[in-house]
Amino acid sequence: MLRLVSKITITQIPSVKYPNRDRVFTIDYVHECEIESSWDMLTSTCKLEFPSKAYFKDDCGQKISWFGQNIYRDSVIDPLVFRDDQVKVELGYKYEKFDDRIQSDTEMYTEFIGFITKVSNSVPIVIECQDFMYKLGQMQCPERSWPEKQWTLKQILQEITKGTGLVIDDGGDELRLGNFITGSETIRGMLNSLTRYGLTTYFRLVNGVPTLRCSGKAYNAKDRKEHIIHRQKNVVDDSLDYNRTDDQKVGIKVIGQVQTENGTRRDGSPKIKKQRVEVLVPDGFNKKDGDIRVYHFNTLDKSILRRVGYQQLNKMFYEGFKGTVTLFGMPSVQHGDSINYTNAYVAEQNGNYLIKGVRKRFGQKGYRQVLELDARIDKLQNSSVSL
């Protein structure tokens, strides 16, 4: 028999107003938990609901209950939980193994690490959280320029997040953004603006460590986990529809622009020479047949622009099945993983699908994962291009 188990760890973060907040709470129950993440979301979210009449412990072993307490407290007493406190969510099952003797075993995985963004002092207690992108939304970019010849995107991100301990991964792209300028916006705002370059930004747990991914690729094969899923054995429900590329009338235009200094004017100011090239994918797309989405990149290399165009096209459109598959809580799946899916009755659905997003629900009604399937790895348009 499988039993649900959970472990919620809340670490108080001291502030100027409350410098003595340093307790750690461990809560081994949760009424409801919902986690939503995707490479297309920028920020992953988590919502926790706790019954008020239950106890949990702090790091000194002291029993504490939500009941009868003002969660926010007042200006004299430190609040129990507060905005900016760190949260770690582990979920799983406890089950019995029948070998020579009956033994209990527990399988749990870290499903979310982030920060409290809102506390609802109601019944039940509701705590809303966001991943580390929330912290980047509180950090200001320095006002400075980043010359293309000196800085890659990864180096820029490492510099502006120095001291945070964040792991930065550019997927091996070593992208350069031209003579990039930052300032008057948060790091989160800057990352969101990079979508015009066709870049994808998100956090993903790699061996339990939040890793910031920012590159032209939505997926990274080096830490992708493949899960074996059988429709008739470990799937609760599915909703899959077949998409045809003939029905998807959208083209991608990638504009390459480069500005260089070309001499000086009479007043001593530099003359700026602007060069521009355009690439339209897929090959043979007629502008009159549908919509065109435009991306900008700082290069005149048409091969790079074509690769960027197909990356964006593969993120949005491909021919094959798309939709959702609902699983039980195990195996634990993250966006960026893949599932080797088998349906004994619909052979056309069989294949290895990339996972675009995952919504996990844990609580009184059990443990479920709703997976949003993306392209089949072997069916991508222009298969030489990584998605």
Spell out the domain ranges in the chain.
3-131, 136-215, 221-246+318-379, 249-316
Q: What is the mean pLDDT of the chain?
A: 84
Give the model confidence (pLDDT) of 78-91 as tens digits: 778 888 999 999 99
3-state SS record for 76-125:
CCCCCCCCCCEEEEEEEEEEEEECCCEEEEEEEEEEEEEEEEEEECCCCE
Whether domain 136-215 has CATH 3.55.50: yes
Per-residue model confidence as pLDDT tens digits over 183-200:
889 999 999 988 877 788
Model confidence band, residue 95 (pLDDT cutoffs 50, 70, 90): confident
Q: What is the pLDDT of residues 302-326, one digit of tens each?
A: 887 888 788 777 777 677 788 999 9
The total number of residues shown for the chain amounts to 387
What is the 8-class DSSP label of residue 268? S
**Span 42-86, pLDDT tens digits:** 999 999 998 877 788 888 888 887 765 556 555 556 778 888 999
The CATH number for 221-246+318-379, chosen from 1.10.3470.10, 3.40.309.10, 3.30.70.1520, 2.40.30.150, is 2.40.30.150
Core vs surface per residue 279-303: b (16+ CB within 10 A) or e: bbbeeebeeeeeeeeebebbbeeee
Q: How high is the pLDDT of residue 196? A: 75
Structure tokens at 352: 């290895």
Q: What mean pLDDT comes out for the span 276-286?
A: 80
What confidence tens digit (pLDDT) does each residue in 159-188 have?
Answer: 999 888 899 988 777 777 777 888 889 999
Q: In whole angstroms, how far apart are CA 97 and each of 1, 108, 153? A: 9, 16, 49
Task: Report the pLDDT value the prediction gives residue 2, as an integer from 0 to 100.
Answer: 82
